[in-house]
Amino acid sequence: MTELKNIDINELKKFSSRANSWWDQSGDFKTLHHINSTRLKFITNKINLKGLHVLDIGCGGGILTESIARQGAYTTGIDASEENIAIASQHASKNNLEINYLVTNAEELSKKITNKFDLITCMELLEHVPDPKSIIEASHMMIKPGGHIIFSTINRNLKSYMLAIVAGEYLLNLLPKGTHQYEKFIRPSELIKWCNKFNLTANDLSAIKYNPLLKTCSLAGAPDVNYILDVIADD
């Protein structure tokens, strides 16, 4: 197997070690289950997925990937972790879903595939890699002209530090301790600037507001902590 670039080995080991927890809705990835329907709503409000070719970058155990496939899309999920892909493949097979899962990353796949996908999603990944701009560039290479790329990540400010790290990881135990590194958080203005560099135009930006007590999620308010961005590839 080709050695993958733009991988933080410590991050890869961390998420690989938790692979068996992906589909435990009270486990390490419980908040991803709680916010999944909201992420899907953001996507389907803009795009009818039926019959489209969709790529989910950093798919993990396939939580969002399966939801996309259930909408009738021809779905590919990629992740650098063999353990994650094994869990994702097993779960999809058990649920009779046809999803093309691959152990790779965006940069490697973009060397083989160009202008193929109508939609690319990249959720909660950019803040875990050494060079997020590299993923944006690779996504640009693989998206069709006029296609959508949707990123979600975390803003970088005092509020996001207090809520995502201090509260989320240490006080409320929503995520395992050490999940995030503050310096890797990305301001919306930075992400939009990087996208513009590759002829990707911002179409919609929304906050993802999570209520840990009710375990509910909504798209509303200022994008000061978690946010989701839709960009469109210029024709």
User: At 219, is the pLDDT very low, low, confident or very high (cuts 50, 70, 90)?
Assistant: very high
Q: What is residue 14's predicted lDDT score, i.e. its pLDDT? A: 94
The more confidently predicted of residues 211 and 1 is 211
Helix (H), strand (E) at residue 149: strand 143-154
- Which CATH code, of 3.30.1490.20, 3.40.50.620, 3.40.50.150, 3.40.640.10, is assigned to 9-233? 3.40.50.150
pLDDT category at 10 given cuts 50, 70, 90 is very high
Contact criterion met (CB below 8 Å) for 100 and 116:
no
CB of 114 closer than 8 Å to CB of 145: no
Can you tell me the distance from the alpha carbon of 120 to that of 208, in angstroms, rounded to the nearest whole number? Answer: 19
Q: In what order do the strands lie in the sheet with 99-103?
A: 99-103, 74-79, 53-57, 117-123, 143-154, 226-233, 200-211, 216-219
What does the pLDDT look like over 94-146, one tens digit per residue?
999 999 999 999 999 999 999 999 999 999 999 999 999 999 999 999 999 99
Average pLDDT, the chain: 96
Share of the chain above pLDDT 90, in %: 96
Q: How many CA atoms lie within 13 A of 166 on its CB side?
A: 8
The answer to whether 133 touches 195, Cβ cutoff 8 Å, is: no
User: In angstroms, rounded to a whole number, what is the distance separating the alpha carbons of residues 161 and 142?
Assistant: 33
Mean pLDDT of all residues in 28-32: 95
Q: What pLDDT band is residue 157 in, cutting at 50, 70 and 90?
A: very high
Percent of the chain residues topping a pLDDT of 70: 99
pTM score, whole prediction: 0.96
Q: Is 129 helix (H, G, I), strand (E, B) or coil?
A: coil
Cα separation values, 38 from 70, 178, 190, 216, 225, Å: 15, 25, 24, 9, 16
Confidence at residue 235, expressed as pLDDT on a 0 to 100 scale: 75
How would residue 1 be classed by pLDDT, with cut points 50, 70 and 90?
Answer: low
Residue 3's pLDDT band, with cuts at 50, 70 and 90, is: confident
Can you tell me the mean pLDDT for 217-228?
95
Backbone angles phi, psi at 151, to 5 degrees: -110, 145
Both tokens of 191, joined, read: 């992400």
Mean pLDDT over 214-218 rounds to: 93
CA separation for the pair 159, 225 (Å, rounded): 7
The DSSP output letter for 14 is H
> 165 and 200 in contact (C-beta within 8 Å)?
no
The rounded distance, in Å, linking the Cα atoms of 127 and 155 is: 10
What pLDDT is attached to residue 59? 98
Could you state, in order of their start, the residue ranges of all structural domains in the chain? 9-233
